[in-house]
Amino acid sequence: MKVKTKKDYIASLKDQEVVIYYKGERVGDRTTHPAFVPHINSAAKTYELALQPEHEDLLTATSHITGNKINRFTHIHQSVDDLIKKVQMLRVIAHETASCFQRCVGFDALNSLYITTFEIDEKHGTDYFTRFRNYLEKIQEENFMLVGGMTDPKGDRSKRPSQQVDPDLFTHVVEKRDEGIVIRGAKAHQTGAVNSHEIMIVPTQNMMEGDEEYAVAAAIPLSAKGVTMIFGRQTNEERKLECGIDAGNSEFGMVGGEALVVFDDVFVPWERVFMCGEIDFTGVLVERFATLHRQNYGGCKGGVSDIVIGASALAAQYQGTLNASHIKDKLVEMLHLAETVYAGSVACSAMGSKTKSGAYYPDPLLANCTKQNITRFIYEISRLAHDIGGGILATLPFDTDLKHPEIGKYVEKYLKGVEGVSTETRIKVLRLLENMTGGTALIESMHGAGSPQSQRVMYQRLGKLGEKMKMAKKVAKADE
């Protein structure tokens, strides 16, 4: 079915029979499970906003394959303007959800594979690019949601994939047949997996001789036999089940609902396989995937930060401190940090370039710089929010206490702020701040799209230190 509306999206999820476990129990209907509904609502915004005329330019694009109007999350970037619109789109959706809307990783997997399969075919005479275009056309037509599967469990990280005692700690090909391949392994921390239609697996790192079975990229329906998803526990996980004020962001939840996706001898037909053994292209595929994903963070995290800043200002207003000079200064600093990370995403997009495949690709050095800033600035924005909000962020009574027939009057009386604002309204804003600035949300900012060290490795590779030394010698007239 073609997914256009939120209703279509939910119906398409119902149509798939998937294996999901939550807290040790098999989930029946994932579309009604309270742990998943907020993440479904958030992802649904990528469909809903695309139908609104005021957002059509950002959330839709014209397919370069069919000429049809498609959701931008299934588009292959055809210009610098596409790269910039991607970042603008992410900030707009973040303003609606204040959470992760989960389609970015699959979006980036599509674009990185489009570029790389073209070059694999050019060198090795394979037909991966044709297969991929055929698959892409189907995804564009159906508007399916993909989870991008890069991160493997990795086991002993001092050893290469082929050196592991347990070979399944990196996803790999265990059998090749005339009709396709069989894979085994797992992908960890998979954002949006439980409410996606398919997973696009790609290698998790550069592979070397002996690692050929781990150099695999393929598209797998999450309903395929042998696929099992185990939902990860998040900070304050149980609050989603309560669906009250304590949830903080009850409609859209926290981050992206990550899961461990297990492949237990999953068969994949050849038409869905886009790399199989080409170790010489694993490194560049990983780099492209990472660059495209790091490009995003100033958009989505900039948008989420806008909500944190707004909630911080409301918290100050409700307690009567908004006009204090030190509060104004903290809010200005938060604004500066949010716009700085957004500027990084726009800059790496504006400096993007055309690849051999015809697709456009952001500047990798600036994309890595953007993500490195995220690992610091989001923590600082959260620290300032905690400073402004005060200790009450960590000590608020339960929602049930506020509504209790006997003690509710005390909560109402003693947690009141300025006149004209109810205690309940004040608590709602404080709970939103607590939800957005603690635990899982911060860890995702640190490690999503790669840990800080991975960006610093890219600085060493892309920073052109030798050229900078030559320029300095020339200006100083210090030629030896």
Show binding-site residues for FAD: 191
Catalytic residue, candidates 33, 278, 293, 370: 293
DSSP string, 359-411: -EE--HHHHHHHHHHHHHHHHHHHHHHHHHH-GGGGTPPPHHHHT-TTTHHHH
> Residue ranges for the binding site?
191
Element (H or E) spanning 339, and its range? helix 325-350
Q: What angle do CA 125, 127, 129 make, to 5 degrees?
A: 115
Q: Is 258 a catalytic residue?
A: yes
Q: What angle do CA 291, 294, 299 make, to 5 degrees?
A: 135
Element (H or E) spanning 268, and its range? strand 259-269
Catalytic residue, candidates 276, 300, 348, 369: 300
Q: Is 297 a catalytic residue?
A: yes
Instruction: Report residue 470 as tokens.
Output: 């030559």
Strand order in the sheet with 273-276: 146-149, 198-201, 216-221, 273-276
Q: Is 333 a catalytic residue?
A: no
Catalytic residue, candidates 104, 276, 348, 369: 104
Give the chain's largest Cα–Cα span: 85
Catalytic residue, candidates 214, 297, 342, 360: 297
Element (H or E) spanning 273, and its range? strand 273-276
Catalytic residue, candidates 48, 96, 258, 278: 258
Q: Is 21 a catalytic residue?
A: no
Block residue for tokens 């049809």? 68
Reduced to 3 states (helix: H, G, I; strand: E, B; else coil), residue 84 is helix
Q: Is 386 a catalytic residue?
A: no
Q: Is 293 a catalytic residue?
A: yes
Catalytic residue, candidates 191, 204, 282, 370: 191
Catalytic residue, candidates 47, 100, 117, 212: 100
**So which residues are the catalytic ones?**
100, 104, 191, 258, 293, 297, 300, 444
